[in-house]
Structure 1
Amino acid sequence: MLSREQIIEAAIGLLDAGGESVLTVRALSERLATGSGAISYHVGKRDDLLDAATEMVVTGALATKSGRAGKAPEDEIRVVALALFDAIAEHRWLATRLTLQIVRNPVGPVTVGIFERIGRQLAALGVPQASWFDAASTLVHYILGAISQNARIEGDTSDVEPGAEREEFLGAASAAWRELAPEDYPFMHAIVGQMADHDDREQFLTGIAIVLDGLTHLG
């Protein structure tokens, strides 16, 4: 008998293969060899299916990277951040849907799961309780913004192949920066080599470190 989990897993497969544009009830029905009524009964409408797929991927990623007793608060925050970074690297459609979940469903399991895992670490970092919401929101906003920027944006009409997208983009950008007049743009010329050769994951962690350093000075 077809289960809700099977439907959601099949939906994730379609999303991974072609993004949101290929996820239709008809396509999912054909993949599962079932009728649209079964999908509606178990999951609901298409938006419900997208939310369920987001929840399954995110909760699975966070569960895999579950916190361990005795871990330093900075390390636990990095674990959560990298779990989301890696999930979006694997599921490019997730960047848009995760942001929508945070904005539209503040009581949903995705939003509260992320905020709870991060928020529990703030007291140990010395952040005063009056600043917990702002501190957690700053971290979540940085995490989502940074990893969304690295992901292929849903609806992008670029002809660049996904595998070559990053290298080609950085090469074109660095070449354009080198064409700028050095006397007018000395900073851009100073960092052009760093931009062309940087590691996205390491840059992401550097940003986390900068935010955490700022939060420790709120007390």
Structure 2
Amino acid sequence: MPRDTLSRDQIVRAAVELLDAEGLEGLNMRALGKRLDSAATAVYWHVKNKDNLVLLAADHVWGELTLPELNPADWRAAAATMATDLYQMFTRHPWLVQAFAAHVLYGEGKSRHDDHSLAVYEAAGFTADQADQAAAAVFTYALGNAAGAAATASLNRKLNRYGAAAEQQLQDAMAEAKAIAVHYPRLRARLETPAAIEYAASPDDTFEFGLEALLDGLERQLAPQPL
């Protein structure tokens, strides 16, 4: 595809697809050019470098989020919706979790989301400072919970790339982890149950459980304090 037929939007969308498939480590201009059926040099007419491309791709996926209407009477529903949508976005695009560790991410899409998040807490009655703290707490909770999905995606790419050797390495690591865990009574009891989950995996509904607890704590901050 000649450079004059490429658009930035095409490049960013292709970058998101490549990142979803290969992660941050798989993003390079040559691979992107191949996906676009174009020379890698043509991409540089629209983006500065790989870091700039990651920034554009990250802000593009922020546009997937829908923002709930502000309702002071039911701010928790809006806060829960935003947190859940954010968590689901991170799990759809696990490379974004990686990107937070290596990039300063900003843009119109993220700013739109962040501003609305603050508005939800301010509408509930939090002061500006409290709204900052509440929004940050919920954001980092969603991001942290998505780290497991990001690690799994990275591991699956490694298994696909290196095949049997990587699979054996994983099995050896899991066996060693379990051998250590059985020396601790609570871990051993959980590993020995018929419905035991995979070692180090989170139980079902963990995100929902923690989010409710977090919002409960925030709600208590709005309750009148005893004199």
Q: TM-score, normalised by structure 2?
A: 0.71
How do 1:95-134 and structure 2 match up within 5 A?
95-98=97-100, 100=102, 104-105=104-105, 108-134=107-133
Partner residue of 1:79 out of 78, 81, 96 = 81
Partner residue of 1:179 out of 182, 185, 191 = 182
Deviations 1:44-65, CA, capped at 9 Å, x for gaps: 21111111111111222x1xx3
One-letter amino acid matched to 1:93: W
Q: Is contact 1:88–1:95 with CA below 8 Å preserved after alignment?
A: yes
Partner residue of 1:54 out of 55, 58, 65 = 58
One-letter amino acid matched to 2:56: A
The separation in 2 between residues aligned to 1:179 and 1:155, in whole angstroms, is 27
| Structure 1 unpaired stretches of 5+ | none
**Matched positions, count:** 204
One-letter amino acid matched to 2:99: R
- The SS at the match of 2:42 is helix
The separation in 1 between residues aligned to 2:120 and 2:70, in whole angstroms, is 12
1:207 corresponding residue in structure 2: 210
The separation in 1 between residues aligned to 2:158 and 2:26, in whole angstroms, is 18
Q: TM-score, normalised by structure 1?
A: 0.73
Partner residue of 1:14 out of 12, 18, 21 = 18
C-alpha displacement of 1:92 = 2.3
Deviations 1:97-123, CA, capped at 9 Å, x for gaps: 24555xx24x53354233223222213
Task: Pick closer, same or farther for the CA change 1:129–1:190 going to 2, 3 Å.
Answer: farther
| Structure 2 unpaired stretches of 5+ | 161-166, 223-227
Q: Which has the higher contact order (CA 8 A, sep 6+)?
A: 1
User: Equivalent pairs: percent with the same residue?
Assistant: 25
C-alpha displacement of 1:42 = 1.5
Structure (1 or 2) with the larger CA radius of gyration = 2
- Stretch deviating more after TM superposition (171-180 or 145-154): 171-180
The separation in 1 between residues aligned to 2:180 and 2:42, in whole angstroms, is 54
